[in-house]
């Protein structure tokens, strides 16, 4: 019976601060001798007296493949090895579920595109798969094993640093944030998140130029709107001024100017055209009948003036005081008091 294990995952950092690119794995060496070990242990009876404690390979691996950034392997345990069968039983019961890769580093890189948030060491871009082990606590963060230049297995302990794992020359945090920001800008510009910087810069410059043109047109539009508003107000004031003393009084001017601004020039014109003409004091006081007159009775006596009403009396007294005094004296026999 075969069991599928994940032996590496490039989407996470291991506990030593570096990332292993699954896509950079070379599996030829492993496929030629696909041994599955337990906890990366190999027999050492030739250099250790405790031969009884040796753990031999517990199975074989096959169908090594990459899917979604993860390295997968199918494991078949040795049915004739009692210890291997113990591990197989724990796998089948779900107690043991993890695998780990023993790898031989080839190429390290500080390429920003291959760095993850919080990464402190360079990324392992290329590597050889030496062996795969079933482990009790595993996956990249806890069970990664490296082989040094002498092909010796290096026991990595979380938090420890080894000379052959290169540290980044500068802290990548800001760099990573810049990359994330660049990716966000690229998406906003309609490009792929991993678009080249030159492409993003060019698209951004094009947008900035368009924005500058839009601002220019906006200013022109606002200027034109102001000019139209000023011309409209000037026309409204001219119409109202022309109607003063003919259709409206001077104290009504502000009202009709506001009416024109609120309702428009055409509405103002329509209102002013419908207003009756204002009669002058002379027309009120000295209106004459006949073709050339106003159709009103001519004022010859104070009684005629009184028939026109108090407005006519006040207008006559104010605008034609001599005529008022003569009419008043003829009516009452004495001159009126002209004091205010």
- 114: closest CA among 185, 184, 23, 190? 23
Per-residue pLDDT reduced to its tens digit, 64-93: 999 998 999 999 999 999 999 999 999 999
Task: Answer yes or no: are the C-beta atoms of 281 and 316 closer than 8 Å.
Answer: yes
Query: What is the spatial distance between Cα 261 and Cα 151, in angstroms, rounded to a whole number?
Result: 91
pLDDT at 305: 83
Per residue in 257-309, pLDDT tens?
Answer: 999 999 999 999 999 888 887 766 555 555 544 334 445 567 889 888 888 88
Provide the Cα torsion 157, 160, 164, 166; round to 10°: 130
Q: Which residues contact 225 (CB under 8 A, 6 or more apart)?
A: none
Residue 253 corresponds to which tokens in the numbers above? 């001017």
What is the band of 204 on the pLDDT scale with cuts at 50, 70, 90?
confident
Which of 30, 106, 36, 39 lies closest to 76, judged by CA?
36
Note the pTM of the prediction, 2 decimals. Answer: 0.45
Tens digit of each residue's pLDDT (9 = 90 or more) over 40-52 = 887 765 445 555 5
């Amino acid at each position: 019976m075969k069991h599928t294990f994940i032996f590496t995952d490039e989407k996470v950092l291991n506990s030593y601060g570096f990332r292993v690119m699954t896509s950079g794995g070379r599996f030829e060496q492993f496929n030629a001798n696909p041994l599955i070990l337990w906890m990366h242990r190999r027999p050492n009876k030739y250099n250790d007296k405790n031969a009884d404690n040796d753990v031999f390979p517990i199975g074989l691996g096959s169908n090594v493949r990459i899917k979604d950034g993860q390295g997968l392997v199918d494991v078949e345990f040795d049915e004739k090895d009692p210890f291997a069968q113990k591990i197989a039983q724990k796998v089948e019961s779900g107690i043991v579920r993890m695998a780990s890769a023993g790898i031989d580093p080839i190429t390290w890189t500080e390429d920003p595109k291959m760095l993850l948030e919080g990464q402190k060491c360079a990324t392992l871009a290329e590597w050889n798969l030496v062996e795969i082990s079933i482990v009790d606590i595993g996956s990249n963060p806890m069970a990664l094993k490296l082989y040094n230049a002498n092909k010796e297995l290096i026991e990595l302990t979380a938090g420890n640093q080894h000379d052959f794992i290169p540290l980044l020359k500068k802290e990548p945090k800001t760099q990573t944030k810049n990359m994330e920001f660049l990716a966000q800008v690229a998406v906003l510009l309609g490009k792929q998140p991993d678009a080249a910087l030159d492409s993003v810069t060019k698209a951004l410059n094009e947008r900035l130029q368009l924005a500058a043109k839009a601002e220019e047109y906006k200013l022109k539009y606002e200027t034109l709107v102001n000019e139209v508003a000023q011309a409209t107000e000037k026309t409204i004031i001219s119409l109202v001024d022309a109607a003063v003393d003919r259709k409206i009084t001077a104290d009504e001017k502000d009202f009709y100017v506001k009416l024109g601004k609120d309702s428009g020039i055409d509405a103002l014109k329509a209102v002013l055209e419908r207003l009756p003409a204002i009669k002058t004091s002379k027309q009120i006081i000295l209106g004459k009948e006949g073709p050339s007159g106003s159709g009103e009775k001519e004022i010859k006596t104070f009684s005629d003036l009184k028939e026109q009403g108090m407005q006519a009396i006040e207008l006559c007294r104010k605008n034609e005081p001599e005529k008022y005094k003569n009419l008043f004296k003829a009516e009452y026999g004495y001159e009126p008091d002209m004091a205010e």
